[in-house]
């Protein structure tokens, strides 16, 4: 009998770092649809690459740091990916 948990990636918004988190509320220019698609593709590719390495858990702050994006951008990309039919498999 095989386990399906090895085929799942668990994505959480929790951070493993302790201490204070600083937020910046400076206005940002709106990204074009093409830039948003690029961010979505980068997030999707990163998660697939991590999964290919055998990891089954990853959090949004790790994805954001690896891609030099904000956590909000990663969350937005994940939301858009879900709307396009990409399913998140959580535990």
Which residue segment(s) compose the domain that 91 sits in? 33-91
pTM beyond 0.85: the answer is no
Count the domains in the chain.
1
Determine which of 19-33, 42-56, 64-78 has the lowest per-residue pLDDT on average.
19-33
Quick check: is 46 in a domain?
A: yes
Quick check: is 2 in a domain?
A: no
Quick check: is 79 in a domain?
A: yes
What's the Cα-to-Cα distance from 33 to each of 36, 37, 47, 78, 87, rounded to whole Å? Answer: 5, 6, 21, 15, 22
Quick check: is 1 in a domain?
A: no
Which pLDDT belongs to residue 19?
Answer: 54
Quick check: is 49 in a domain?
A: yes
Determine which of 16-25, 26-35, 49-58, 63-72 has the lowest per-residue pLDDT on average.
16-25
Quick check: is 26 in a domain?
A: no
Quick check: is 11 in a domain?
A: no
């Amino acid at each position: 009998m095989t386990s399906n948990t090895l085929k799942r990636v668990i994505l959480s918004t929790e951070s493993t770092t302790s201490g204070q988190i600083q937020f910046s509320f400076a206005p940002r220019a709106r990204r074009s649809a093409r830039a948003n698609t690029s961010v979505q593709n980068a997030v999707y590719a990163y998660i697939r690459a991590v999964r290919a390495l055998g990891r089954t858990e990853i959090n949004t702050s790790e994805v954001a740091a690896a891609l030099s994006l904000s956590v909000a951008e990663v969350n937005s990309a994940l939301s858009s990916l879900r709307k396009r039919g990409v399913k998140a498999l959580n535990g």
